[in-house]
Amino acid sequence: MSIQVELPTYSHFINGERSPASTGETFDVFNPATGEAVARVSKGTVEDVNRAVDAAHAAFEKEGWRDMPPAERAKILFQIADAIALHKTELIYLESLTSGGTVRRIAGNDIMMIIDLFQQMAKFVQSYPFSETLPNPLFPGPAHNFVWREPIGVCAAITPWNMPLLIASWKIAPALATGNTVVLKPASHTPVSALRLAEIISAVVPAGVLNVVAGSGAEIGETLVRHPKVDKVAFTGSTEVGRGIMKQAADTIKNITLELGGKSPNILLKDADLKIALPGTLFGVFLHSGQLCESGTRLFVPRSIYDTVLEQLAALTQTLKLGNQLDENIGVGPVISQRQKETVLDYIQSGIDEGARLICGGKEAVVEGLENGYFIEPTIFADVTNDMKIAREEIFGPVLCVIPYDHIDEAIEMANDTIYGLAGGVWTRDVNKAYEVARKIKAGVIWINDWHMLRNDAPFGGYKQSGIGREMGKHSLDAYTQLKHVHTSMVPELGRRVAYGLLMTEAKKSE
């Protein structure tokens, strides 16, 4: 006898309540470690998007939310942080179950960063210059001038599957901190944790301020980007979809923030402390099975230490524990889907075909008891040249390309020879050399003797085709506000209004 267990169902979250799709349809969400369906989620329609945008628009237009005093808004942001902390076990579980991210990472990093993010935003808004007074000008006469920073309006947040909660929070926190309202479209692989996050946050914000519609990017995402009542789009995902969003947003001249792909260079100098640099390199590329946009996927190594580095990297890689992401002793989980697994394996094959040398990994991994899961062995290629496909395209899987160099100028030239510019790094004991390399790498974040060290008070975003705009830090508040100049004349007599004389010559003479 087989027992059928009903899957938990998650609806959209619109105007402060759960809301099924207009058609009643759902789609399944899977655990990438087993390939089994674990939840059923409302399948969004254009009508659902319209309802969510209307709710967000009404919440924005209604008095109270967008013009709330910063001190009061800070209290709400602190309450959001507390509410997330209260529900963190459930959120960690849902996030790990559906994204394949290890519980070890999500509990040890992501959830704490999210709580801290809302707390930081609460602090930032209290000193943020929502209104600044300019000095009195000599010309065209005394006047009082303000620069106000006002919310933009309805913000569409479109997010990927790799770190669903963290990346959604990078958009929701600054948007709410500055008085905007949000419609979130999470990735179809991972809508569940975001839907719960919205419910948790909505317990402390007015109805309509935060809405979530799940469903296909091509349909829901595009409808949001083109929607006339959506004022801003904040997107994280592939550069390809980012390009499309930029074009679609052009029709309504939308404010956009794009956080896109990367092919980040990691430069090892001859004097690097290999005891830290090599584990750091693996941390930089294999965390979350390489499915992080700022992963250090191209390692540049001086030819004089090349063989030693390869040997030690291969040995260290063997110590990584691959398996069920829900087991807290596991460091490397599955990739997100069968399709992603095939894409990564195709890239590995292309590396072999183009003449790169496999020094470890290179095939799918079979984990006992999880034979239907999407696991790939952490893979390292030696003798990669910077023009190979594996060195040029974002693989988004556990694949490291090691490229030898003779002179640091050559390494920097190769490091910058990419369409991307999200992150970069250098390992050395010489601080002057480190800063020189940091200055020369064209990327939005540089790690010296470290990797993945994002902070809630520092900006994150890309140079070149890795994106537009910055998230996190006070800078993210700038991305969710628009500037308004307000001028008040302090000249009561018409005769002293010098500027008016530019037009009214007679009036000036007759006075």
Residue from 10, 130, 161, 300 binding ligand NDP (CB under 6 A) = 161
How far apart are CB 151 and ligand NDP at their closest, in Å? 23
Q: Does 289 bind ligand NDP (CB under 6 A)?
A: no
Interface region with ligand NDP, contact rule CB under 6 A, candidates 168-176, 241-249, 355-363, 501-509: 241-249
Residue from 100, 208, 237, 334 binding ligand NDP (CB under 6 A) = 237
CA–CA gap between residue 119 and residue 113 (Å, rounded): 10
Interface region with ligand NDP, contact rule CB under 6 A, candidates 113-121, 153-161, 304-312, 356-364: 153-161
Residue from 244, 270, 383, 455 binding ligand NDP (CB under 6 A) = 244
CA–CA gap between residue 394 and residue 390 (Å, rounded): 8
Q: What is the dihedral of CA 494, 497, 500, 502, to 10 degrees?
A: 130
Residue 352, sorted as left (phi over 0), alpha (psi -120 to 50) or beta, turns out to be: alpha
Complex with ligand NDP: residue 283 or 306, whichever CB lies closer: 283
Q: How many residues does the chain have?
A: 511
How far apart are CB 506 and ligand NDP at their closest, in Å? 58
Measured CA distances, 397 to 293, 334, 465, 491, 497 (Å): 10, 10, 20, 66, 66
Q: What is the CA radius of gyration of the chain?
A: 26
How far apart are CB 21 and ligand NDP at their closest, in Å? 14
Contacts of 308 (CB under 8 A, 6+ apart): 274
Catalytic residue among 155, 293, 360, 401: 293
Q: Tell me if residue 259 is catalytic.
A: yes
Q: Does 225 bind ligand NDP (CB under 6 A)?
A: yes
**8 A C-beta contact, residue 416 and residue 439:** no
**Helix, strand or coil, per DSSP, at residue 185:** strand
Q: Which residues pair with 404 in a beta bridge?
A: 301
Q: Does 32 bind ligand NDP (CB under 6 A)?
A: no
Interface region with ligand NDP, contact rule CB under 6 A, candidates 91-99, 231-239, 405-413, 476-484: 231-239
Complex with ligand NDP: residue 77 or 245, whichever CB lies closer: 245
**8 A C-beta contact, residue 266 and residue 298:** yes
Interface region with ligand NDP, contact rule CB under 6 A, candidates 230-238, 295-303, 304-312, 477-485: 230-238
Contact set with ligand NDP (CB under 6 A): 158-162, 185, 187-188, 216-218, 221-222, 225, 236-238, 241, 244-245, 260-261, 293, 394, 396
Catalogue the active-site residues.
259, 293
